[in-house]
């Protein structure tokens, strides 16, 4: 499965593709620490939380991050 990391800061926007969920989580956390607004999605548009020790965790629509 492929994961897309979406990041924005000021007027900049980047998207990065990762195949490994742990690599996607690591890249997302690095961008967040660098001051970017970040979210991760899969090919179907499902959003994932990336601050978990096991990589990525699917979010539900009622999770507070939405």
What is the strand order of the sheet 12-18 is part of?
A: 12-18, 3-9, 37-42, 47-52, 55-58
Q: At residue 66, does pLDDT exceed 50? A: no
Alpha helices in the chain (DSSP H): 21-33
Q: At residue 11, does pLDDT exceed 90? A: yes
Mean pLDDT, residues 56-62 taken together: 71
Mean pLDDT, residues 19-32 taken together: 91
Contact status, residue 4 vs residue 41, Cβ threshold 8 Å: yes
Confidence class for position 59, pLDDT limits 50, 70, 90: confident
Mean pLDDT, residues 2-6 taken together: 95
Count of Cβ atoms closer than 10 Å to residue 23 Cβ: 14
CA distance to 5, 36, 55, per residue, from 25 (Å): 9, 14, 5
Task: Give me the pLDDT at residue 54, please.
Answer: 63
């Amino acid at each position: 499965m492929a994961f897309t990391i979406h990041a924005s800061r000021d007027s900049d926007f980047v998207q990065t593709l990762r195949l490994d969920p742990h690599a996607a989580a690591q890249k997302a956390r690095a961008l967040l620490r660098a001051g970017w607004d970040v979210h991760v999605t899969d090919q179907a548009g499902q959003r994932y939380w990336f601050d978990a020790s096991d990589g990525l965790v699917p979010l539900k629509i009622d999770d507070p991050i939405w």
